[in-house]
Structure 1
Amino acid sequence: MKFSPSTGNFYPDDIAYAALPDDLIDVSGEGYTKAMSRAADEAFSVGADGAVTITKIPGPTDEQIKAAVKAEARRLMAATDYTQAADVAFDLKNVAAFTEYRAAVRAIFRNPPMEPEWPDVPTPDWA
């Protein structure tokens, strides 16, 4: 079995290829199996000597998680912006429920927790 760092692919020895990358490294069958049986949160690398190393893929940072929470809050607010327009609010029986919902989402936006508990979106009740 061979591995090419430039393509990130393994090349079995029993297949005749028309062309192969110039940077092939010999890898044992055990190394190949190790690379292919890694967990979803793991990555593999192949050293110049053909040794396969498995490493954990780092998860998102706290800042990235909070940024994603803020982005979701922004999306949820935008999806209900229409409920706050004066001409819509006049015909919306439960405008107060939307105002309350948006206040809860806004609080999450302002101080994003790592695991937010999102409020349920009210169903519009038109007059």
Structure 2
Amino acid sequence: TNAMGPFFVTQQLVKAGLLGPPGSLVVNITSIMSSHGDQTVSSVTGGGYAYRSSKAALNAINKALALDLAPRSIHCVLLHPGYVRTDMTGGNGWIDVAESCQGMMAVLESGQPLNGRFFSFDGQELPW
């Protein structure tokens, strides 16, 4: 569901003409754990095979959607929310939900080109 769910939803929104006017955004939430070029702690630990690979698949889908929807001026961006204190992380994490959301909104509202790119909640562009 990490990969195909967002793809099928986007596909149906396109078919139904519901993605909105030019300049609309498709935002997919991914993870730094999906990055092949990441050199942080998440790249030197193993495990999480299904999660990592499903998020990497989402990244590839998002990149293809970015190319396919660009002629309609619909932009697709990937966001990594950070290591957030949630039930999924067992209450561990470096930031809370509010900080993650505020950061991601700041990226989306930054005015910089977003299409086909991968950003962390703190605005850092991440490697694929």
- Classify the TM-score, shorter chain: under 0.3
Bigger relative contact order, structure 1 or 2 (CA pairs below 8 A, ≥6 apart): 2
How high is the TM-score relative to the length of structure 1?
Answer: 0.25
Choose 1 or 2 for highest CA Rg: 1
